Amino acid sequence: MLAQTVLRFQRRGARAHIRHLLKKQHPADVAKMLMELPVPLRGEMILLAGSPDMQADVLSELDAEVAGRIISMLEPEAVVIRIIEGMSSDDAAALLRTFPEDERARLLGLMRNEESEDVEGLLTYRTDTAGAMMTPDIFSLQEGVTVEEAIRALRDAREAREAETVFYIFVVNALEQLVGVISLRQLVVSNPKARLEDIMEREVVTVDAETDREEVARVVEHYNFIAVPVVDEQRHLLGIITVDDVLDVLREEATEDLLRMSGASDLPQRGTSILARLPGRITWMLTATLVAWVISWIVYGWAPVQGNSSDFVSPLSWLVLLPMLIVISITMAMQAAAVAIGAVTLETIPTDAIWPYFVRETGAGITMAVACGGLSTLGLWVMLGLSVAWPLGLSVASGAAVASVLGSGIPLLLHRFHRDPTELGGVIVMCFAAISSSLCGLLVAHGLQ
């Protein structure tokens, strides 16, 4: 809606109207509006969004890659630098990561030293680590400071926009090592003459700059933190990671699970093209091809090459059986795997209750396999007559049952041994299921002759 109004004003050249309209919006809403505009207009429109600081806030709300493309549209360069300087260091670093090496160095060279140093520091950490996620703009005080002095320091930092998100005050010793934490609320209700070291909480959970971002998300989620401090080996305070960054990680992690389940290998790294990600995906596709070929070998070895259509081991009846057996088994395996992974992810299955869960899940799987086998029999009856249909239906049912057991069994087994249940990936689960259910189904069809 906002986007449509802006577009209407833009067509009429009413730039002042746009400026007035955007001034009253939340940066997150302006960011959302920009995403709905045609790409070439985005650069022009962000310049109408309030002060350079507001523009910086809007860019911070955007995906780094999208923000990078907008930045590269803008000129003159002084404006660009002013906006990047207005961003918090972690967002600026994420943005600059999307630029080629030389362009990045050039932009850093144009920035004020105190800003570019922070950003350059963050760029030294590997992507996906706590170091790359954290913001180094932290409000920390010495342990000897009194409550009264702390409040005065907070007031003096008023102009520093970075400190807007202060909920905790981190307490450091003379060596800048983290020794405690105080919530703003504790500070407010404490005796003004008390020293921070007397009222602070000394047991602070921290993460290391090299900690994987998924581990950071787990820590924040586990303790219901608003923010977690990042320290080096000597417990020097390097930065903090706030819960909103963790929300992004969780969303990306969930997408990663979805992709793994479907054999699309990695999370699409923002900024990498589809072609760059092709190697990971194609590996899974070639694996699936090899598995399909193994199934074909099984079929080739046992295939009836003669017989008439009233015989269930005839070429025609097997041709009709194969699609049903394979499609149903694969669907069954994927479904069982997704349910098991979902249950594990939501922590509804404790590690010691996996066996009963598996037994119940297998019961459900067999029920569905019987239902699918029954429906298959009806379908095949129409085509080939009952005497051919029932053994083929039985073959479908047994193949589906095996697929269900493997589909739920593999992720649960991984969970039992404290591994990530999506670790093997959906294609592997599907492959196991496809091979063993074909084997089982064809054995049944063969055995009944």
Q: Which of residues 149-168 bind its own copies (CB under 8 A)?
A: 151, 154-155, 158, 163-164, 166-167
- Residues 2-31 within binding reach of its own copies (CB under 8 A): 26, 28
* Residue 380 vs residues 221, 317, 368, 373: alpha-carbon distances, Å: 52, 9, 18, 10
The DSSP output letter for 126 is P
Site string for its own copies, 394-433 (x = CB under 8 A): ------x-------------------------xx--x---
Closest CA to 434 of 302, 289, 333: 333
Q: Report, in Å, the least distance between residue 25 CB and its own copies.
A: 10
User: How many residues at the interface with its own copies, by CB under 8 A?
Assistant: 125
- Residues 253-292 within binding reach of its own copies (CB under 8 A): 253-259, 261-264, 267-268, 270, 273-275, 278, 281-282, 284-286, 288-292
Task: Pick from 293, 310, 423, 447 the residue near its own copies by CB under 8 A.
Answer: 293
- Residues 338-377 within binding reach of its own copies (CB under 8 A): 338-339, 341-343, 345-348, 350-353, 360-361, 363-364, 367-368, 371-372, 375-376
Q: Which two tokens stand for residue 110?
A: 């144009």
Q: Which residues contact 155 (CB under 8 A, 6 or more apart)?
A: none
CB-side neighbour CA atoms (13 Å) of 353: 10
Question: At which residue do the structure tokens 């990045």 appear?
Answer: 104
Cα 43–chain centre separation:
28
H/E stretch holding 288: helix 278-302
- Residues 302-341 within binding reach of its own copies (CB under 8 A): 303, 305, 309, 315-316, 318-324, 326-328, 330-332, 334-335, 337-339, 341
- Residues 211-230 within binding reach of its own copies (CB under 8 A): 220-224, 226
- Residues 132-151 within binding reach of its own copies (CB under 8 A): 151
Q: Report, in Å, the least distance between residue 26 CB and its own copies.
A: 6
CA distance 42 to 66: 10
Q: Report, in Å, the least distance between residue 151 CB and its own copies.
A: 6
Contact between 386 and its own copies (CB under 8 A)? no
Cα 410–chain centre separation:
22
CA distance 410 to 405: 8
Cα 114–chain centre separation:
33
